[in-house]
Amino acid sequence: MSPFRFNAHSLVHVTEEEKDHICPHCNKAFPAKANLRNHIKNMHEEVDYHVCEICAKMFKSKDFLRHLTTHSDEKVEKTLPCPICGKLFRYKSQLNHHIERHNDSGQVFRCHLCNKEAPNKSALQKHIRFVHIREKKHKCNLCESAFKTPLGLREHMATHTSNQILYTCLFCPKQFNSNANKLDTIGTCGLECEEFSKLTTSTFAFVPLVIDPPVYEVEVPQCDYSVPLIVGGEEAKPSEFPHMAAIGWDRERDNGIDWNCGGVLISNDMILTAAHCTQTRGVAPKYIRLGDHNLARTDDDSDPQQFTIKEIIRHPEYRSVSKYNDIALMKIDGRPRLGKFVRPACLWQSQNINYTKTVATGWGQIDFSGPKSDSLQKVTLDIISNHQCAPLFEINRRLQQGIVDTQMCAGYLDGGKDTCQGDSGGPIQVVTPGNICIFHIVGLTSFGKSCGGANAPGVYTRVSAYLDWIESHTWPGQ
């Protein structure tokens, strides 16, 4: 994992006596101020979010009013002049921030503890907070060096030995002498994938029956994965696909929920789905259900967790009149309990997919004219090259460029196996040999001709083509 993630993880091991940030509402203690802020926001504050009727994004009141101006041809005029330089601004907050920078110019911001100069007041405050206030508790027992985090101490200890720390890639045997080099190769989502994969294995020790036996440790997968055999498919096992998410809309006639789309949990609070699942007849979805198997029953040996959608982020180049860039993110209003029934999936990194088959999952129709399935279905599909798939789709108003590189095809050309209505937004996935409990998402169900028809494969959004966009919203700043 990255040093930033390692530092965050190290807070898990802080003792109760060291947690000095107390919640004023419930007296619960936290190791860091950021943890306390998140706790208050999620547990004690009730925030009403506003949904934009034009693009379905969700905002707080202040941000919502500002967002509405982006849909107007007439932008808010800059009418607020700076009294010092005369520059115009649209909002008073922007003007005040600008004036502060005038006041800061010419001043020297010097740390009173070490005399280090900072370019501005904000930088000085950050320097004091991270350099002087946070105590260096992790001390080297070979020299007098001390560090703020276990990661810093661990990397320092390597300088005292001849063996430098190596980081091994989850996807190949390649090793790196630092996490920074590894990050450049597999990206943020690759490092996050490695972290989530640790939830799927247990380490066991065994001793051979010999004199002075050595102790061996092995990692054993802990999941309900079975070799996969939704049209032409079969019912999945509970917890077999713990990353699956059901996306729901309010049903006015009986106050129920219509689960019309699927999605994938890819982080602690982000769902990946198709952009066309962000609206149905002009209405945005409201609910996400994780960890469920049968959406209509409560006795199906599952452990469902339901959340409200906090924010919807469609790809900026998606248009409802087109079949391209059909990808979106949905942020939920809390963090699920990760375990056997709920666990994020990984994202496939390469444009090329070195597999001939993939597994599709969803709660869609079991046949072309049949009802949707209440239980999660799975089906194995052939991955079909774009060269072979493109001639099967006519160019039309919604598919003006034909099948492009940001899309991929999968199905069964003889017919009988396919995704169907209600599977939209759900994943097609592969399993790598390194860990059979972790699925790598290669595509999202987008559209097709018919369910299970001959020479009518489904078309999927190719996830690897959008990794930069996904990472920028899911793990910003990493």
pLDDT tens per residue across span 109-141: 788 778 888 877 778 877 777 777 666 777 887
Q: Which are the contacts of 223, defined by CB distance < 8 A and separation ≥ 6?
A: 200, 239, 240, 242, 340, 436, 437
Rounded Cα distance between 317 and 304, Å, is 34
Checking if the pLDDT of 456 tops 70, the result is yes
- One-character DSSP codes across 21-42: EE-TTT--EESSHHHHHHHHHH
Beta bridge partners of 310: none
Checking if the pLDDT of 172 tops 70, the result is no
* Residues 389-405, mean pLDDT to the nearest whole number: 93
Verdict on whether the full-model pTM lies above 0.95: no
| Residue 132 confidence (pLDDT) | 72
Q: Using the CB atoms, write b or e for 24-52: b if 16+ within 10 Å.
A: eeeeeebbbeebbeebbeeeeeeeebebb
* Residues 287-311, mean pLDDT to the nearest whole number: 93
Pairing, β 377-384 against β 234-235: antiparallel
Average pLDDT over the chain, rounded to whole?
78
- Report which secondary-structure segment, H or E, holds 314: strand 305-314
Q: For domain 239-474, give the CATH superfamily.
A: Trypsin-like serine proteases (2.40.10.10)
Q: Where in the chain are the domains? A: 239-474
Residue pair 332/269 in contact by the 8 Å Cβ criterion: yes
Residues that are catalytic: 276, 326, 424
Sign (positive or negative) of CA dihedral 173, 174, 179, 180? negative
Q: What confidence tier does 96 reach under pLDDT thresholds 50, 70, 90?
A: confident
Map residue 155 onto helix, strand or coil. helix
| Residue 142 confidence (pLDDT) | 78
| Residue 436 confidence (pLDDT) | 66
- The backbone torsions φ and ψ at residue 405, rounded to the nearest 5 degrees and listed phi first, read -65, -25
pLDDT tens per residue across span 22-51: 888 777 888 777 788 888 877 777 656 677
| Residue 6 confidence (pLDDT) | 53
Task: Give me the residue label for tokens 């276990």.
Answer: 150
Instruction: Detail the DSSP E strand segments found in 33-178.
Output: 50-51, 58-59, 80-81, 88-89, 109-110, 117-118, 138-139, 146-147, 167-168, 175-176
Task: Give me the residue label for tokens 């998402």.
Answer: 441
* Residues 378-398, mean pLDDT to the nearest whole number: 93
* Residues 162-170, mean pLDDT to the nearest whole number: 49
| Residue 52 confidence (pLDDT) | 75
Q: Which are the contacts of 476, defined by CB distance < 8 A and separation ≥ 6?
A: none
How many H-runs (helices) and E-runs (strands) does the chain carry? Answer: 9, 28
| Residue 134 confidence (pLDDT) | 63
* Residues 204-223, mean pLDDT to the nearest whole number: 53
| Residue 62 confidence (pLDDT) | 58
Q: What confidence tier does 396 reach under pLDDT thresholds 50, 70, 90?
A: very high
Rounded Cα distance between 206 and 212, Å, is 13
Gyration radius of the chain over CA positions: 26
| Residue 16 confidence (pLDDT) | 66
Residue pair 279/270 in contact by the 8 Å Cβ criterion: no
Compute how many other C-beta atoms are within 10 angstroms of the C-beta atom of residue 76: 10
**120-129, 159-168, 329-338, 389-398: lowest mean pLDDT where?**
159-168
Residue 234: C-alpha distances to residues 152, 345, 362, 375, 379 (Å): 49, 21, 11, 10, 6
| Residue 432 confidence (pLDDT) | 80
Map residue 329 onto helix, strand or coil. strand
pLDDT tens per residue across span 404-433: 999 999 998 887 665 665 578 999 999 887
* Residues 46-66, mean pLDDT to the nearest whole number: 67
Rounded Cα distance between 75 and 156, Å, is 54
Map residue 188 onto helix, strand or coil. helix
Residue pair 457/409 in contact by the 8 Å Cβ criterion: yes
| Residue 298 confidence (pLDDT) | 84
**158-162, 384-388, 407-411: lowest mean pLDDT where?**
158-162
Rounded Cα distance between 414 and 450, Å, is 13
Task: Give me the residue label for tokens 């051979």.
Answer: 208
- The backbone torsions φ and ψ at residue 477, rounded to the nearest 5 degrees and listed phi first, read 80, 5
Cα angle value 355/356/357 (rounded, 5°): 95
Residue pair 87/81 in contact by the 8 Å Cβ criterion: yes
